[in-house]
Homo-oligomer: A and B are copies of this chain.
């Protein structure tokens, strides 16, 4: 009965071939540049064939995005064990920033584009997978910081803290992606702004007596990811 396994494998290979054809287009030119006809031409199949592997264009590009982002965040995981909770948090933020700046098209689709009303029950289960649930991982790091007394006494809501830190970094990244080329604003360097806001938020949250680690930690982990 090895035939069904082979079929599944061939199917997976075809799926990957489609995604790889779309990947270059998307990463370099964005969502609109990914045309089903272009992708089909690239792999020498007809456009309708793609619908045998993906429900629609959006599902295809989102699958590709999730793969790539999960892969980038995965390269960051090993360094987590070597650091203390606060360093882990800082390092995670740094990796997130680099990810957004290096893959703006990915970032734009995943974090700056509202997803259609799901009406699809399969999505919810898919995200339960901790590898692709970066937010869940981030929140658990925040929880660890709370448990080890990193934050001020009154800060007990991991969701609020995680969402606030996320929003801050997301603001710098997304504003840079959307308006970074706007000539009407004299932008300060985006990494400096990200660093400054990151520091500002964390210092405002730290319990008195907890020392803020020197910079360089998140830079190292970002370098290993490149």
Inter-chain contact B197/A164, CB cutoff 8 Å: yes
Inter-chain contact A135/B185, CB cutoff 8 Å: yes
Which B residues lie within 8 Å of A111 (CB)?
175, 178-179
Instruction: Name the distance in Å between A163's Cβ and chain B's nearest Cβ.
Output: 6
From B168, B178, B185, B188, contact of A113 by CB (8 A): B178
A113's nearest neighbour on chain B, judged by CB, is B178
Inter-chain contact B135/A184, CB cutoff 8 Å: yes
Known contacts A112-B112, A118-B183, A185-B135; A167/B178 CB under 8 A? no
Q: Report the bound CA distance from A153 to B157 in whole Å.
A: 32
Q: Report the bound CA distance from A187 to B195 in whole Å.
A: 25
Which B residues lie within 8 Å of A192 (CB)?
160
A170's nearest neighbour on chain B, judged by CB, is B171
Which B residues lie within 8 Å of A66 (CB)?
none
Q: Report the bound CA distance from A145 to B133 in whole Å.
A: 41
Inter-chain contact B178/A112, CB cutoff 8 Å: yes
| Chain A residues numbered 177-212 whose CB sits less than 8 Å from any CB in chain B | 177-179, 181-188, 192-193, 196-197, 200-201, 203-205
A174 in the interface (beta carbon within 8 A): yes
Inter-chain contact A200/B197, CB cutoff 8 Å: no
A114 in the interface (beta carbon within 8 A): yes
Instruction: Name the distance in Å between A166's Cβ and chain B's nearest Cβ.
Output: 7
Residues of A within 8 A of B (CB): 108, 111-115, 117-118, 124, 127, 133, 135-136, 157, 159-160, 163-164, 166-172, 174-175, 177-179, 181-188, 192-193, 196-197, 200-201, 203-205
